[in-house]
Structures are given as C-alpha cells and as structure tokens.
Amino acid sequence: MASQRALPSADALLEISMAMGSTRELEALEQKLLECISRTLRADRGAILLLGESGEQFASVCGWDSREEVERPAGYSRAIIDRVLREKAPLLSQRDPDAPPGDECIAAALCVPLILFQQLRGVLYVDSTDSGARFEPEQLEWLSAVGGIAALVLENARRIQWLENENSRLRAEIAIEHEMVGASPALREVEKFIARAAPTDATVLIRGESGTGKELVARAIHRNSPRAGRAFVAINCAAITETLLESELFGHEKGAFTGAAAQQKGKLEMADGGTLFLDEVGELALGLQAKLLRVLQEREFERVGGTRPIRVDIRLIAATNRDLKAAIQAGIFRQDLFYRLNVVSLTTPPLRQRREDIPLLARHFAQLHARRARRPVRGVSEAALAHLMKYDWPGNIRELENAIERAVVLGCTEWVLAEDLPEDLVEIEPSAVETQYHETVKESKKELILKAVQQTGGNYTEAARLLGIHPNYLHRLIRNLNLKPALNKMAASHPE
C-alpha cells in the first residue's frame, strides 16, 4: 500500500519563509530550504541546481539527503531534470508500483523550474527511494509555489555573493602596495594584474619598452606576496659579462677560477625563500639560459667549481624589452626557457599610452628632485605641462624623470617652466605637411619677438621681460625659429 503523504500546512509555508530570511549566504540558504522542503514533503533527498550565466551548464549544485551516511553525494535523476529544463514546466514522476525494486531506484520525484523575470534560473528537485512512496499533484503545486518565491531569494543571494566576492577582489586591488604613480585605465590594469599574480608563486614575465617601470611592477608583486618578508634580489643580465654573471647568479667555490679566494654565495642562494628578479633576461647567453632552465625545472643548482647540488625555494620574475619570440627565431633565446618564463605575463604600457598620468608623474618627480637638490619648487607650470603632454616619450617614465630633474637643477624660479625643459622636448619638429594654423603661429611668434627686440633696442633680457618669458627661452626661440639673420640685419640698420 502506498504511503500517505499529508498536504503541506500553513505552518510549513511559514517555516519555509523563515528559512528564506534566515541567511543571505547562498549555500547555507540552499541547505535550509532543501531540509525544510524535504521534511515537509517527507522526501528522502533534495537538490537545487542553478544555471550559470550562459544558461547551458550548472554553476551551482546543492544536495540534501535525509539518511545518516556522511559525505553522501547529491542524488537526483538527470533525465527528470533535463525534461523540466527543456519544457520549463513542473513534473511529477512515479515509478510503477508493480516494477521490481532496484538499488537506489527512485520511487517518486517532484521537480519544478526556478523562473525569474521569464528566465529559467535552475530547478528545485525532491525524490524518495521508498518503494511504496507516492507524491500527490497538490504537493507538486505547493512545490511550484515555493519555487516561485525561492527563485527570487536564491538569485538575490547569488547576486549578493557575487558582489561580496567582487568587492573583496577590488579591495585587494586597492590595498596593494606599490610605488607607481598614476590613475589611468592602463595603470589600473597593471594594478589588477599585480593583485591577481602576487598571492601565487607563479613565474612572471614582464615585457615592455625601456623605462616603463618593469622593476617597480616586480617589486610590487613581491611586496604583496606571501614572500614579502624575505629577500627581493635583482640582477641586470645586460650589465655584467657572461663569465661574471654565472658567478653572480650561482656563486662559486674557493679556487674555482683565478681570483676566487673564498667561497661566495650567488644571487640564487641570497634569494632563497624570496624573489629573484632577472632584468633584461633576453640578454642572457645561451649557456646560462640552459642552467637557468634547470633551476626553474628542479629548483636546484651547483656553484661554479662545485659538485654539490643546492636546493632553493625562490619565485622568479623576469623582465625584458626584447621580442623573445623574434629572438627564438634568430636562435639566440631558448624556446623551452621562454615557455618556462612565460607562465604569467604582463606588458607594461608605454607612457604615450597613459598620457593622463604625465601631470601626476611630472609633479611627483618635481617634488622628489626638489628635495634632493634642496631647492624650493612649488610645481610644474601649465606651459611646461602642455609641452610634456604632446611629447611622445620614447624613453618613457625614465626619460620624463630625467627631464624634470634637469629642469629642477637648472631652473631659476619656484616653478618648472617650459624653458627649463630639454630643447628637443619643447620645440617638437613639425610634421612634413604643416598646416596653415601652425605656419600662422610660427610667423606670429617671429613677429612678436622681432618687435620686442626692436622696442628694447636689442636688449634681449628686456625683450624677454616684455614678452613674459625667461631670457633662456627667448634665446632658444630665436635659435629654433632661425631669427638670428633677421636680428643681425635689424641691428646693422640701427647702429647705436
């Protein structure tokens, strides 16, 4: 005789409502709902399956089982669930009572779609394996009503969980420590990369033009990693000859070569437990590339002149401004080493791709070098910033810093002025096809300068004051605008 199942009461609905409002943590909410629903319907098992954003695969599967076994996997009939997903309609399934019982055979099952704003979000499923179990149509209607409410509650819980995870991720990005200056979207992407890469031990390859701050990125990854309390050891592979670089990296034993008077630890040993940064790794000789490959594979090496393998726990970060794929084609860089280095990679953006950061960088460097030069500098003038913004910066941030340092050292006022900047930066060569506008501006400059010099009787200092510019800048304009012949002619026609 089939077991009788009482229809859910108002108390059951109240219990379900209280369960829905008891927590906003998705997995805990799913467990409470399944427990309450399964107990109300006297079901053995239950499951909530939520679809992902694509609507094709399950992003979340939560199961509940009333039986005593620990770690029992979530049980459900995939055939029943697939049918509900396909038809988007509730389903009551009963096994033929005359059929022979089987192990884990589902005797009765209820499954309803979770639909929100006319979109299918998942299914709610319960079943019983008791051979005499039966579900009633009224119970399917009740479960459908519960599913209609649960769809909204579960979606809100899932959205809150996503927002909390995203908030945690953004907080981690904001909290990263680094010495980079700027607020451009390009720099924000670099910061996101650091936040994701820093907590891991993955090997990092940083690519980019010279002067784009590759070492600053490497130091930021180390500083925000679990290895932050250990050493950050940097070595420039292009600055040391091959023979010295091998000893510098691996160390050497006493008597290993002429001048090796004592045993010396290499950079690899010094970086044990911390991070080794290889700058300009593309300049490594092929022989050293093979030895570095072994270090990456085995995390061990031998000192120059030694025979005992030394194990190290290091994280490797490498940087290069060379096209390593082209170097592989040219036979000067090992392909297998490239694959070992290129686990996680980043290309640092050139300054011309983050122009909005130039004013911030310029003011930062002005303050920095003003302190070092022990002279008061209030900031960078608008005219100077205008020149800085339109320059292409082939040397990137390093070139910008050098330009600001020069301006601070040679400047005569409390501001970095346009005339304090390097000549090739202030007077950028015009394009091959010069517009009428630029030609008119140039002629206007010439006319103003000639008139000022004429009015002051050839006194360049007074002429500069009249024009509101520094005398040095006036001399530069005269030279760049090729005004010397005209001024000489003017002086000859008006002798004192």
In 10 A of CB 326, how many CB atoms? 11
Residues 46, 34: contact at Cβ < 8 Å?
Answer: yes
In tens, the pLDDT along 183-197 reads 899 998 998 999 899
Token readout for 451 is: 């008139």
Pick the most confident of 75-79, 125-129, 157-161, 441-445: 125-129
Q: Identify the band that residue 463 occupies on the pLDDT scale cut at 50, 70 and 90.
A: confident
**Helix, strand, coil shares, percent, the chain, to 5:** 50, 15, 35
pLDDT over 50 at 166, yes or no: yes
CB atoms within 10 A of CB 268: 24
Average pLDDT estimate for 448-474: 84
Q: Is the pLDDT of residue 102 over 80?
A: no
Q: Average pLDDT over the chain, rounded to whole? A: 84
Average pLDDT over residues 42-67: 84
For residue 160, report the phi and psi dihedrals to the nearest 5 degrees: -60, -40
Q: For 283, list phi and psi in degrees, rounded to 5.
A: -90, 0
Architecture of 436-493 per CATH? Orthogonal Bundle (1.10)
**Lookup: tokens for 45:** 């098992």
% of the chain surpassing 90 pLDDT: 37
Quick check: pTM over 0.75?
Answer: no
Strand pairing class (310-311; 58-65)? unpaired
When mean pLDDT is compared across 98-112, 181-195, 440-454, the lowest value belongs to 98-112
Pick the CATH number of 185-349 from 3.40.50.80, 3.40.50.12640, 3.40.50.300, 1.10.10.10: 3.40.50.300
Query: Is residue 97 scored above 70 in pLDDT?
Result: no
pLDDT tens by residue, 374-428: 888 888 998 899 999 999 999 999 999 999 999 998 888 889 988 888 887 876 5
Is-contact 48 30, C-beta < 8 A? Answer: yes
Return the closest-CA partner of residue 207 out of 217, 219, 221. Answer: 217
What is the average per-residue pLDDT within 254-267? 77
Overall average pLDDT of the 433-439 stretch: 55
Count how many residues are written for the chain: 496
Q: Choose between 243 and 285: higher pLDDT.
A: 285
The 3 state secondary structure assigned to 229-286 is CCCEEEEECCCCCHHHHHHHHHCECCCCCCCCCCCECCHHHHCCCCEEEEECHHHCCH
* pLDDT (mean) for 9-29: 75
Greater confidence (204 vs 413) lies with: 204
Least confident of 29-43, 97-111, 279-293: 97-111
Residue boundaries of the structural domains of the chain? 10-166, 185-349, 352-426, 436-493
Fold (topology level) of 10-166: Beta-Lactamase (3.30.450)
The whole-number average pLDDT for the span 233-246 is 85
Average of per-residue pLDDT across 292-303 = 88
- DSSP strands (E only) in 211-325: 232-236, 275-279, 300-301, 310-311, 315-320
- Contact status, residue 352 vs residue 325, Cβ threshold 8 Å: no
Rounded Cα distance, 401 and 211, in Å: 10
Per-residue confidence (pLDDT) for residue 103, from 0 to 100: 41
Q: Per CATH, which fold does 352-426 belong to?
A: Helicase, Ruva Protein; domain 3 (1.10.8)
In this prediction, residue 140 has a pLDDT band, given cuts at 50, 70 and 90, of very high
Alpha carbon separation from 100 to 132, 218, 402 (Å, rounded): 12, 68, 87
pLDDT, mean of residues 426-432:
53
pLDDT at 427: 64
CA distances from 372 to 276, 285, 377, 417 (A): 30, 38, 11, 19
Per-residue pLDDT at 279: 94
pLDDT in the model for residue 193: 93
Is 223 buried (19+), middle (13-18) or exposed (0-12) by CB count in 10 A?
middle
Give tens-digit pLDDT for 305-358: 877 888 999 999 999 999 999 999 999 999 999 999 999 999 999 999 999 999
